[in-house]
Amino acid sequence: MATVVSPVKTRPSIIVLLQEVQERYGYLPREEVARCARAAGISVAQAYGVASFYNFFKLSKPGKYPIRVCTGTACHVQGGQGLLERLRSELGIEPGETTPDGLFSLETVACLGACSMSPAMVVGDDVYGRVTPREIPRILARYRRRG
């Protein structure tokens, strides 16, 4: 004898709440994740489990100059991985993280649509094509000077 359970949700979905927060802040501040968890009636641990599962959700505040490295097919063939490695070591952060000074954040993207100039990356609003790992320190220095 099954009872029909009402499909009406009394609590908002955690994903929807997290999306709203990200829209407002550009990422998910910890206090806000805790607040979303309370609103959704789940634990902070569970809310973070959801937030960290989806690539869409940013867990740290993006840097002033977000760096996006293309790992699409063309860029991969042309050595995009080398760029990423160099950026990792120069910045001391992993994709998804932000430098302690708040200047740079690092992420990988599947394609920038700039295959003709692969390997490509974007720093802030500037597109860089046919980049070699050796050029990375000079490029970063430009933004550090700008502050």
Partner 1 sequence: MSETSLHANGVTSVSMVTIKVNGQVLRAPEGANLLTVLRQAGFSVPSLCYLEGLPGIGACRLCLVEIAGVPKLQTACTTAVRDGMEIYTNSARVREARREVLQLLLGDHPNECLFCQRSGDCELQALAAEYGVRQKQYEEMLRHFEPDLSSPALAYDPEKCVLCQRCVRVCSEVQEVNAISLVRRGIKTKVSPPFEMPWAESGCTFCGQCTVVCPTGALTEHDDTARVWQALNDPDRYVVAQIAPAVRVTMGEAWADSRGVSRDEIPEDFSERIVAGLKALGFRAVFDTQFSADLTIMEETHEFVERFKRGERLPIFTSCCPAWVRFVELYFPEQVEHLSSCKSPQGMLGALLKTYYAQKIGVDPARITVVSIMPCTAKKFEASRPELGRDGRPDVDIVLTSRELERLMAQAGIDPGKLEPQPFDSPLGESTGAGAIFGASGGVAEAALRTAYYLVSGKDPAPLEFEAVRGWDNLRTATITIDGTAVRCAVVSGLAGARRLLESGEYKQYDFVEVMACPGGCVDGGGQLRPEVKAARGLHAQKRAAGLYAIDQKKEIRLSHRNPAIQKVYAEFLGEPGSSTAHHLLHTHYQPQDAYELVAATREKEG
Point out which residues bind partner 1 (CB under 8 A). 29-31, 33-34, 38, 43-49, 52-53, 59
Question: Residue 50 CB, nearest distance to partner 1 (Å)?
Answer: 9
Question: Residue 82 CB, nearest distance to partner 1 (Å)?
Answer: 20
For 92, phi then psi, to 5°, come to 70, 25
Secondary element (H or E) of residue 126? strand 126-128
CA–CA distance from 111 to each of 68, 73, 74, 117 (Å)? 10, 8, 9, 12
The three-class DSSP label of residue 39 is helix
Rank residues 8 and 45 by Cβ distance to partner 1 and give the closer one. 45
For residues 61 and 26, is the Cβ–Cβ distance under 8 A?
yes
Rank residues 38 and 144 by Cβ distance to partner 1 and give the closer one. 38
Rank residues 3 and 116 by Cβ distance to partner 1 and give the closer one. 3
Question: Residue 59 CB, nearest distance to partner 1 (Å)?
Answer: 8
Question: Residue 119 CB, nearest distance to partner 1 (Å)?
Answer: 24
Rank residues 14 and 120 by Cβ distance to partner 1 and give the closer one. 14
Sheet holding 104-109, edge to edge: 104-109, 65-70, 121-123, 126-128
